[in-house]
Amino acid sequence: MLAKFTQILIFGLSAFFVSFVLYPRYIKLLTKRKAGQSIRDAARSGGEASIFKELHKHKAGTPTMGWGLFLLVTGLMVIISIRLQSEWYINNSLFNRNETYILLFALFSMWLLGLVDDVLNIRGKSEIKGLSAKLKLLWMFLFSGFISRWMYAKLWVDSVDLWPLAGEISLGLAYPIITFFLTISITNAINITDGLDGLVWWLMLLVLMALGIMTFVAGQFLATTLIAIVVWCLLAFLRYNINPAKIFMWDAGALGLGGFTATLVYLIDINSTVDIGIIIPFGIMFLIFWLEIASSSLQMFRKKVFKKKLFTIAPYHHQLEKNGMAEQTIVMRFWVVQWVLITIFLMMLFYQLQG
């Protein structure tokens, strides 16, 4: 166990130091290439995004595509692990069918979507400065459909553990349908929450740390190692993303981590060597993200149906910003709430282990 823990820390810290050293150079390269953020003129639900533009006009030109180095370092760590395995220094590489194939697919496939969106945003090829919501949704449908089909048809999974409300419940054909919509919801929730300097990345850092603890306890050490690499890369990125941000991850990072997180939850649910129900505890831990996507969805519904806004601006963190709350204050308050939710999540985890 100690050897596994040491290996996880070595990969995580290596990813951190490589990222930390390269990010200043990467930011200079993006600045030189004028790969800066464009502030959108149109809301994705239609109409002008005048309030959003007013609140964030000072961020125009800040280098985006922070996910690029993130992707490079993650890929580098996977390649190094394959090399170490070939030399018999470690038993298993991070390119492993049982634990990491689907996780790596989730990261890199959703990053591809974000890449196209970021390039269009930088070049300003459309009035919404990026891919349309319909095209994004289509890609997410394809991705979610693939994940759901893989779980159901390839891994023969059709049940979930709904502890503490219920035990193992067989869903049959409903399983791929439910996971399909859940993956889209998780991915969109993370993407929507990404709106203030450091906000979503601090929250996701805590969420992934908690999931990393769970995978470690469940004996999924390769998945834990991959989570550690992602977490430490995030920590290095946050050094340059805290207010005032010197670089943004933008949609590619949010979508990539959204797909990664959703897939990780499913794998923990089906591969755990101990009897742990994760669905309900994760839903509680993810509460801030659910509230963010709910505020945005309700806003869009009311505008479409009743032609009136529910909030001055959505999602909720932008409403707080519009009300005059400082950006740093919003981030810190959300962070405090997330710590509480993480604590509840871990209490539920260890209660099950004790039972």
Residue appearing with tokens 């850092």: 205
Would you tell me how many other CB atoms lie within 10 Å of the CB of residue 326?
Answer: 11
- What distance in Å separates the CA atoms of residue 273 and residue 159, rounded to the nearest whole number? 16
Residue entry with tokens 């601006």: 313
Which residue's entry shows tokens 């479409």?
304
| CA distances from residue 92 to 40, 41, 289, 344 in whole angstroms, order as listed | 45, 49, 34, 33
Residue 105 has φ and ψ, to the nearest 5°, of -60, -45
With the CA atoms of 76, 80, 82 and 83 taken in that order, what torsion angle do they form, in degrees rounded to the nearest 10? 140
- Does residue 286 have a pLDDT over 60? yes
Are 218 and 262 contacting, i.e. CB atoms less than 8 angstroms apart?
no
| C-beta neighbour count of 201 within 10 angstroms | 24
Residue 7 confidence class, pLDDT cut points 50, 70, 90? very high
Predicted TM-score (pTM) of this structure: 0.91
pLDDT at position 6 is: 95
CA–CA distance, 188 with 132 (Å, rounded to integer): 14
User: What region, left, alpha or beta, does residue 193 occupy, with left being phi > 0 and alpha being psi -120 to 50 degrees?
Assistant: alpha
Tell me the per-residue pLDDT of 265-284, one tens digit each, with 9 for 90 and over.
999 888 756 678 899 999 99
pLDDT tens, residue by residue, 180-191: 999 999 999 998
Instruction: State the pLDDT confidence band at 294, using cuts at 50, 70 and 90.
Output: very high
Cis peptide before 164 (omega within 30 of 0): yes
Instruction: Compute the distance between CA of residue 89 and CA of residue 348 in angstroms, rounded to an integer.
Output: 36
- For residues 28-39, one letter each, b for 16 or more C-beta atoms within 10 angstroms of the residue's C-beta and e for the rest, the string is eebeeeebbbbb
- State how far the Cα of 354 lies from the Cα of 72, in Å rounded to an integer: 40
Torsion sign (Cα): 338, 344, 347, 348: negative
The three state secondary structure string of 303-341 is HHHHCCCCCCCCCHHHHHHHCCCCHHHHHHHHHHHHHHH
pLDDT digits 0-9 by tens, 308-333 = 888 888 899 999 998 999 999 999 99
Length of the chain: 355
Contact 273, 56 (CB under 8 A): no
Which whole number is the average pLDDT over 44-57? 54
C-alpha span between 24 and 10 (Å, rounded): 23
Structure tokens at 76: 């580098």
Taking the C-alpha atoms of residue 16 and residue 213, their distance in angstroms, rounded to an integer, is: 19
pLDDT for 126 equals 47
Residue 159's φ and ψ, nearest 5 degrees, are -140, 160
Q: Which of 169, 7, 178, 156 is nearest to 90 (CA)?
A: 7
| Domain boundaries, given as residue ranges, for the chain | 2-159+173-273
C-alpha to C-alpha distance for 229 and 143, rounded to whole angstroms: 23
What is the rounded average pLDDT of the residues 53-59?
Answer: 57
Only one residue has tokens 């308050």, namely 333
Interval 214-229: pLDDT, tens: 999 888 999 999 999 9
pLDDT for position 273: 62
Q: What local confidence, expressed as pLDDT, does residue 242 receive?
A: 86
